[in-house]
Structures are given as C-alpha cells and as structure tokens.
Structure 1
Amino acid sequence: MVPAKIFILTGAGVSAESGLSTFRDKGGLWAEYRVEDVASLAGYERDPARVLEFYNLRRNSHRDVRPNPAHVALGQLQRAWAGRGGEVTICTQNIDHLHEAGGAENVIHMHGEIGKVRCHDCGDVTAADGELSLALGCGACGRIGGLRPHVVWFGETPLEMDTIYEKLAAADLFVSIGTSGAVYPAAGFVAAARSGDIETMEINLEPSENAFLFDAARYGKASEIVPAWAAELIGQM
C-alpha cells in the first residue's frame, strides 16, 4: 500500500555529501572549538564575540555548498505526492538550506537556520546574509549587540515541536535519513511513530543507534539510496 502521508526526518548524513561537516567529525571547523563554548547559551553569554566569530565561519562554509541528489530526490518526491493529493513533510535537524535549494518547500528546521538571526532580547527573527557583529542592531526592538544566530544550541528546546508531532501523528510512513539516532528529541520520533502504528524506515550510511526500532532499512550513501527509494515510491503511485 502506497502511503498517503510521509514524514521524513533528515540529519547530517544528508548534507555531508554536499561537503558540510558536523561536530562529530574529527577534522574541520568544529575540531578547533569546544562545543560548550560556541554552541550553548552559557557560551554565548560568556563570550558573544567568540560565538559570532565561529558562526561567521560556519556561514561562510555554507555559501558555496550545493544540494546533492538526495536533496533533489526528496524535493521531487514531495512535489509528486502533492500533485496527487498526498503530503510529504520534510523535517530536518540541519541548519542549512540545501533542502530548499533541492526543490523542497515548507521544510521544518527544528534546529534553526544558519541564514537567519534572532534577537536575544525580543526574539525577532530575520534573514541575514552578512557577517554577524556586536555592532549590529535589532530591526524590531532597536537593541545593539543582541543578535545571535537563529540556531538551537545544546540545552535549548528545538523549534516547531507541536507542528512536528502533529504531522508525525498524521503520517502513514516515517522515514529517518542520515541521522545518528543519538540526538533527542529527534531520536525519539521513531518510537513515537511505532506507538501510533506508523510504518518506519531508516536510510543511513550505517545502522543508527536506534536502528533496531525501524521496520525496514536501507544502507549506503544518501546520494544513491534516497533517489532510488524515491523513484520506487513515485513509480508505485
């Protein structure tokens, strides 16, 4: 039976093939900084200039990346499903915009977006292409020096959780792509899906930490496995 509504969770494994590294990688930008110093509220309050410096480097590393075949395939799947009255919800733990660049729409960025800034005081969120600085002011409240990256740091609650659980509960199929299965609350989505008798599937380079919870799995490069899987689904419609 072809699922009418599909909920897809994506993680770092999807964007890794586009050249973006994560804090788990042994090399790269994260290896030069302590996570607690640059990816926590305490670190920001202690040394905001250092945090902004780090995220300016991250923003620069995102500028030239391009969507890979996995991003493009998910965008195609979403459009194909919508064209026949179905729905594909894409929820990502990634802060890049590669899903959108690959053609997806209404992507839920539960960990925020690298291309936006948020006022630490009033909470206003705006797009920002330039470098972050303590000299910048908030367009909403006017405060100088309070703009932080619009990303979820360790210890903070992910964004749009009510919408996520609503969409997940309404799905016929839950698919986790390129995730470690170690970061909560996202790692708990498969258990929530199983409790609602929703079919589950993992697509990953290798089994995740919670791989045993999935009904089905496919392993290999996301850029190869995801397009093949999406093509199969579209062919079944």
Structure 2
Amino acid sequence: MSLKKNVVATLSTYLIIFLFPALLNLFFHLGSQIYWIQTVDYIIGALVLTYFYWRTRERPALEQKKVASRQIIGLGLLGVVAALIAQFVANLIDLFLFHSIPSSANTTTILTIIKSYPFYILATVIAAPIMEELVFRRTIFGSLVPFTGQVGAALIASVMFAMAHSDGHLLVYTAIGLVFCYLYQKTGRIQTSILSHMLMNAMVIGISLWR
C-alpha cells in the first residue's frame, strides 16, 4: 500500500468507526448494548488501522530516522508526565481566562460507563489511543508537515484531535495533542505517542476510579 492510499484508507476507516455506533443507535435504539458495540467497534478499528500501518512500506519523512527501542519506551514513559503537566497547565489557563469547569465531561462520561461496564476500558485505554495516534499524529500531522511545517501541522492536528473529543476543553486536548505530536516527531515512531497515550488514559481512569 502506498502512503497516499494509507492516508485515504486510515481517515475513511476512522470516520466510519467513529460514526458507526451513533448511527446504529439512531435507528435501533440500542440502550446499554451500545457500549458493547462501541467497544467491539473500536477494537476492530484499531486492528484495521494497525493492519494498514504494517501494510504500508513507504514511510513518511518523519519516520526516516533510526531510533533504539529503549528510546521509544523511555520517551513514551516521559511523555505521560509531559502530557499530564500540559493538561494541568491548560486547565489552569482555561479556569483563569475562560472560567471553564476543570472537570472533563468526556472523562466523566467514560468513568460512569466503566463503573457499570468494565469491559469498556478496552476501548478507552487500548483501542482509542491506537486509532487516535495513527489518525491525528501519523496521518494528519505527518501528512501536513511538508506543507505547513512541523509547528503548523502540530497545531492543526492537535486542534482537530481536541474537536473530536467535543467536551468544551479545546485548549486542554490541544495541549495534550501537541505533546503527542512532539513525541512522534522526536523518535519518528508512532509507538512512542501510542504508549504515552495509553498510559495517560490508564492513569487518569485508574486514579479516578480509586477515589
């Protein structure tokens, strides 16, 4: 698969996966069954996008560098701390400048679902981070770099990432997205930001459930 075909396949598949549960619920009123469907839907999406990734022999310019596995893991772990700090700072700015509520409606909804349907954690901690990193970082950010430069591409991809979460905390999700863009371009391996994204989601959910 060529890189251009990968971009088209990745974006179109993600759009279908993202919209499918809501469209299905619109016609069949699934009730609580939607969480099973969404979990399976996200897992399938993550597997399909991963398949597209491995089938694409052509690599974008950001992935041309050589990097050791320990650097990917090390930066992936440090990236969790960076993402949490970015989230904290962005929340403070949101609070003092825009007087927004610190809590995230998106996170609150996810926690409520997980408490009743624990299997949903597979969608939020594993499947969603894989899809979002392959889409927003590797595909959108990576594809825009040659046209807008790394800063412009990171801003566009991160704002789109924030808009996809649609809970009013645009600045917070944009800040997190920028951290993940940096991790990806620093190592040239999407596995770095995937690791950070998974661990961040796991930590936020784990700490919130522990309270």
**TM-score band w.r.t. shorter chain:** under 0.3
The answer to which structure has the higher strand fraction is 1
Structure with the bigger RCO (C-alpha within 8 Å, sep 6+) is: 2
Q: Give the structure with higher Rg (CA).
A: 1
More helix by share: 2
TM-score (norm 2): 0.28
Q: TM-score, normalised by structure 1?
A: 0.26
